[in-house]
Amino acid sequence: MAYVSIYLNREVRDEGKPFEEAVELLADAIEGFFGYKLGTPSINEQNYQAMLWAVANVSGLVARERPVYDFGYSERQDADLMKLLNGSPYPPYTPYTAKTCILWALGLLL
């Protein structure tokens, strides 16, 4: 059985536990695959399938995570995200500007 030790900061230890377990399963599958590489083909096939599953599991866990705990990835992206939170990024289309509306209300524009 493979043993994997990963240092996790205590504030995020619960969040990192699935990663540690997934990497340990991957290490077990790799160890089993190469341990039976020259041995029993059926056991080696099972270990190969276990490796594929474990790699998919690890990559799925990684894909769920964000690179940082901050709002966005950069100050520029933070500003873009704030625009989305504050309202629609696309104003409704209207051919009338404030100036044309005032002129129309005064009767100067037909």
pLDDT in tens, 68-88: 655 566 677 777 777 776 666
CA gap 30, 48 in Å, rounded: 8
Q: Whole-prediction pTM value?
A: 0.57
Residues 16, 77: Cα–Cα separation, whole Å: 26
Predicted confidence at residue 78, as pLDDT, reads 72
> What's the Cα-to-Cα distance from 75 to each of 64, 81, 90, rounded to whole Å?
22, 10, 21
pLDDT grade, residue 100 (50/70/90)? low
**How many Å apart are CA 102 and CA 100, to the nearest integer?**
5
> Among 10, 11, 6, which Cα is nearest to 21's?
6
Q: Mean of the per-residue pLDDT values for the chain?
A: 78
